[in-house]
Chains A and B, each alone.
Chain A
Amino acid sequence: MTRGTIQNRDAFLQTIAERLGRAPRLSGVSRPQWDCAPQWTVFAGYSQDDLLNVLQKQCGLIHTDYIETTSAELAGALRRQVAAYGGGPVIVPDDPRFAEYGLSALLQDEWPAEQTAVHTWNPALGRQNIDAAEQANVGIAFSDITLAESGTVVLFSRNEQGRAIHFLPKTYIAIVPKSTVVPRMTQAAAAIHEQIEKGGLVPSCINFITGPSNSADIEMNLVVGVHGPMKAAYIVVTDR
């Protein structure tokens, strides 16, 4: 990674320090212990089942279809949901979890055999991935962390999982392993922060996605589906 440039910093920070009436502070500041931490009290002590209930209720508020299934039934549930959204083309990341969750046959044989085109994100194909995402009717991805309170799926970008999968298709389906569900954004932020403290690099894009795209810019009427997907579904896998 080539280091980027930084311009005009010294004078800029000097001005700030002067205004604050002290010498510049360029190192040695640490985050204080904040006086209170109300964010950690939300759904404290909830079981995984309690959290699923919260998630399900929230999905009603965010115009998101909520489906519960098991890993044995997942392929069927996914096939039905894609059909309900009007079928293919489908775009998916190149994610080993598709095989682990028994979806390889669906992706590689069954859908193609019935003319449902499946594009698997492949970084070697460059811009073609974006064209495929633009043409896709459904984008499908696995949630990395799921926030019960807000009904949010968290997705980390990687070479095999481009950003456009979540935004360009007309509809969107997130597969949510039950074990990924946490109370709220607090737990996700803490986990990411911990990785950074350990010297880890955050991916170039982290998406917190909560239902389909919407806008209230016209007379404050909620319009679901503006720039991103117009419909969204979460398929929760209860035994994973």
Chain B
Amino acid sequence: MPMKIENGPFWKRVEENLQNDFMRGAVAGMQDRGYVRRLGVIEELGHWEEWRSLAEQIRKHTLENLDYYLMQLSENVAKRGGHVFFAQTAEEANDYIRRIALEKQAKKIVKSKSMVTEEINLNPVLEAIGCQVVETDLGEYILQIDDHDPPSHIVGPALHKNKEQIRDVFRRKLGYTKSSDPVELARHAREMLRRDYLTADIGITGCNFAIAESGSITLVTNEGNADLVTALPKTQITVMGMERIVPTFEEMEVLVSMLTRSAVGQKLTSYITVLTGPRDEGDADGPEEFHLVIVDNGRSSILGTEFQPILQCIRCAACVNVCPVYRHIGGHSYGSIYSGPIGAVLSPLLGGYDDYKELPYASSLCAACTEACPVKIPLHELLIKHRQIIVEREGKAPVAEKLAMKAFRLGTASSSLYRFGTKFAPSAFAPFVEDGRVTKGPGPLKAWTESREFPAPSKERFRDWFQTRQKGGNPS
């Protein structure tokens, strides 16, 4: 799957997703439960602002000295007998990996979750030379067997599917005969995938953090799939975005502590695995050959610009999980494998404004994302920078986008307001509401309400707004 998800124009995607009640319920449930869990572990840890400052400092220092740390990393990987390939583009990375697959005459390849291999669209390249590519993360496995349904969340890719849908896919594709009980479904996947691990020729992984001082890579999972992907096949290929690196084990530890808390509200996930080179001489498992592919694919053009902080990202999805806009429109609306606030900032940078110019407007600028980010990326400020650039390019912000900005801002003017949830917003607007319509709005709404009625914020206010917009014609 490439970074871009081909599913029609932005506004149409949003409209379709607003109709998907299961998805919207699932996202809301995930956000609400995730919020409580994340705050719980953060509180238990204590000194969270210090942790954030430390994490930010580590990420900033590493980016400012990225050439040095990549030099050190590659030297140490080579010393341990691993091979390093620096790929400027997606094509270079894919070509290299394809060459290895051909050389090994690989028939089957098992993969653990990796956003960057999605971004460079690796799977079709390997399938074209006759390899069977098997995704082993349960969420990704479900999407893969469902004819490559796109992921809707960077941590929980199959969040938009319910268990009945998953059961039906398993029945259609895997001859599954049992119920929609998640335990039975997961056990079935376990059995199917066991065979794949044991017979695969190559294992491919992503990389949460590379460690420069030792030439190691760190993998963070709950399922243990990355461990089987790297313990059993003879060849291991790890693909990393060039910024996913830390100086030493000590910084890795700090960032892993931030990642697992921010992503899933856990102190640590079940499996954190640090791998260095191929198997040691005399080992009976682990790969005989190890390749590290370090991918630029547009990242270096972000360095040295005002957008450089986005490269601090550790892909925890905390920003996604607190985003009121993501809550309503879901991951698929973003048209990119990177959704939510991180996606709205990153997708235009990696994929260009032509495809992604609407994304920076899919935000209420409420700053909840910035507050949640464990490495202190000023996400909402970067969204504003994008908007400024888009306005400059296009001469003006398209009307629809102006409206979007106002609409998304409604009731979410500050993150503290959002924190009390959607219930709080309606009462704040009460004085302006007649028959469920805002007639004269405060602040940013004024210009808008002067020319037409605006739907009052309600639990479904976002959806109402879209319906109203629809009646008023297509703005795109």
- Which positions in A face B, CB cutoff 8 Å? 1-9, 11-13, 15-17, 19-21, 24-29, 31-32, 34-39, 41-42, 58, 62, 121-123, 125-127, 129-130, 134, 147, 149-152, 157-159, 162-164, 166-168, 184-186, 188-190, 192-193, 196, 201-221, 223, 225-229
A120 to B282, CA, bound (A): 16
Q: Tell me which residues across on chain A come within 8 A of B303, comparing CB atoms.
A: 16, 19-20
Is there contact, CB below 8 Å, between B228 and A167? yes
Interface bits B274-291 vs A (CB < 8 Å: 1, else 0): 111111111111100010
Is there contact, CB below 8 Å, between B249 and A192? yes
A127 to B273, CA, bound (A): 22
Q: Tell me which residues across on chain B come within 8 A of A152, comparing CB atoms.
A: 268, 272
On whether A16 and B70 interact (CB within 8 A), knowing A205-B274, A205-B275, A217-B142, the answer reads: yes
Most buried by B among A29, A123, A152, A159: A29
A9's contact among B84, B138, B193, B290, by CB below 8 Å, is which? B84
A90 to B461, CA, bound (A): 58
On whether A214 and B64 interact (CB within 8 A), knowing A3-B79, A130-B232, A223-B183, the answer reads: no
A227 to B142, CA, bound (A): 14
A5's contact among B83, B166, B268, B294, by CB below 8 Å, is which? B83
Q: Tell me which residues across on chain A come within 8 A of B294, comparing CB atoms.
A: 12
Q: Please give me the 6 A-B residue pairs with the lowest Cβ-Cβ distance, nearest first.
A: A228-B224, A189-B253, A217-B139, A12-B86, A208-B272, A150-B267
Q: Tell me which residues across on chain B come within 8 A of A216, comparing CB atoms.
A: 156, 222, 264
Interface bits B50-71 vs A (CB < 8 Å: 1, else 0): 1101100110010011111111
Q: Which of B25-33, B405-413, B447-455 contacts A (4 or more CB under 8 A)?
A: B25-33
A39 to B71, CA, bound (A): 28
A4 to B83, CA, bound (A): 5
Question: Closest Cβ of chain B: how far from A176's Cβ, in Å?
Answer: 16
A14 to B33, CA, bound (A): 45
A130 to B228, CA, bound (A): 11
B223's contact among A39, A193, A214, by CB below 8 Å, is which? A214
Is there contact, CB below 8 Å, between A8 and B92? yes
4 more contacts with CB within 8 A, not counting A1-B281, A3-B78, are: A34-B54, A186-B250, A210-B267, A227-B224
A15 to B70, CA, bound (A): 12
Most buried by B among A11, A58, A219, A228: A219
On whether A228 and B223 interact (CB within 8 A), knowing A39-B253, A164-B231, A185-B257, the answer reads: yes
A228 to B16, CA, bound (A): 38
A178 to B194, CA, bound (A): 35
Q: Tell me which residues across on chain A come within 8 A of B252, comparing CB atoms.
A: 189
Q: Tell me which residues across on chain A come within 8 A of B158, comparing CB atoms.
A: 217-218
Those of B156-202 within 8 Å (CB) of chain A: 156-159, 162-163, 166, 182-183, 185-187, 189-190, 193-194, 197-198
Is there contact, CB below 8 Å, between B231 and A1? no
Is there contact, CB below 8 Å, between A163 and B227? yes
Q: Tell me which residues across on chain B come within 8 A of A17, comparing CB atoms.
A: 67
Is there contact, CB below 8 Å, between A39 and B86? no
A36 to B57, CA, bound (A): 10
B51's contact among A38, A164, A192, A205, by CB below 8 Å, is which? A38
A214 to B303, CA, bound (A): 37
Is there contact, CB below 8 Å, between A5 and B84? yes
Is there contact, CB below 8 Å, between A215 and B186? yes
Q: Tell me which residues across on chain B come within 8 A of A27, comparing CB atoms.
A: 68, 71
B74 within 8 A of A: yes
A26 to B73, CA, bound (A): 11
Nearest chain B residue, comparing its CB with the CB of A211: B270
- Show 5 A/B contacts (Cβ-Cβ < 8 Å), sorted by A: A6-B75, A27-B68, A39-B257, A167-B224, A204-B80
A126's contact among B68, B187, B228, B284, by CB below 8 Å, is which? B284
Q: Tell me which residues across on chain A come within 8 A of B264, comparing CB atoms.
A: 216
A213 to B276, CA, bound (A): 23
Q: Tell me which residues across on chain A come within 8 A of B231, comparing CB atoms.
A: 162-164, 167, 205
A231 to B120, CA, bound (A): 37
Those of B325-341 within 8 Å (CB) of chain A: none
Q: Tell me which residues across on chain B come within 8 A of A203, comparing CB atoms.
A: 276, 280
Q: Tell me which residues across on chain A come within 8 A of B186, comparing CB atoms.
A: 215, 218, 223, 225-226
Is there contact, CB below 8 Å, between B68 and A26? yes
Is there contact, CB below 8 Å, between A226 and B223? yes
Is there contact, CB below 8 Å, between A210 and B271? yes
Is there contact, CB below 8 Å, between B285 and A193? no
Nearest chain A residue, comparing its CB with the CB of B159: A220
Nearest chain B residue, comparing its CB with the CB of A30: B247
B71's contact among A26, A162, A225, by CB below 8 Å, is which? A26
On whether A16 and B86 interact (CB within 8 A), knowing A205-B274, A217-B138, the answer reads: no
B65's contact among A11, A29, A130, A211, by CB below 8 Å, is which? A29
Is there contact, CB below 8 Å, between B284 and A3? no
Question: Closest Cβ of chain A: how far from B351's Cβ, in Å?
Answer: 19
A29 to B279, CA, bound (A): 30
Is there contact, CB below 8 Å, between B61 and A32? yes
Those of B2-49 within 8 Å (CB) of chain A: 26, 29-30, 33, 45-47
Question: Closest Cβ of chain B: how far from A200's Cβ, in Å?
Answer: 10
Is there contact, CB below 8 Å, between B283 and A159? yes
Is there contact, CB below 8 Å, between B280 and A149? no
A134 to B50, CA, bound (A): 44
A28 to B72, CA, bound (A): 11
Q: Tell me which residues across on chain B come within 8 A of A159, comparing CB atoms.
A: 280, 282-284
Question: Closest Cβ of chain B: how far from A78's Cβ, in Å?
Answer: 22
Nearest chain A residue, comparing its CB with the CB of B84: A6
On whether A31 and B224 interact (CB within 8 A), knowing A13-B70, A204-B283, the answer reads: no
B126 within 8 A of A: no
Q: Tell me which residues across on chain A come within 8 A of B68, comparing CB atoms.
A: 25-29
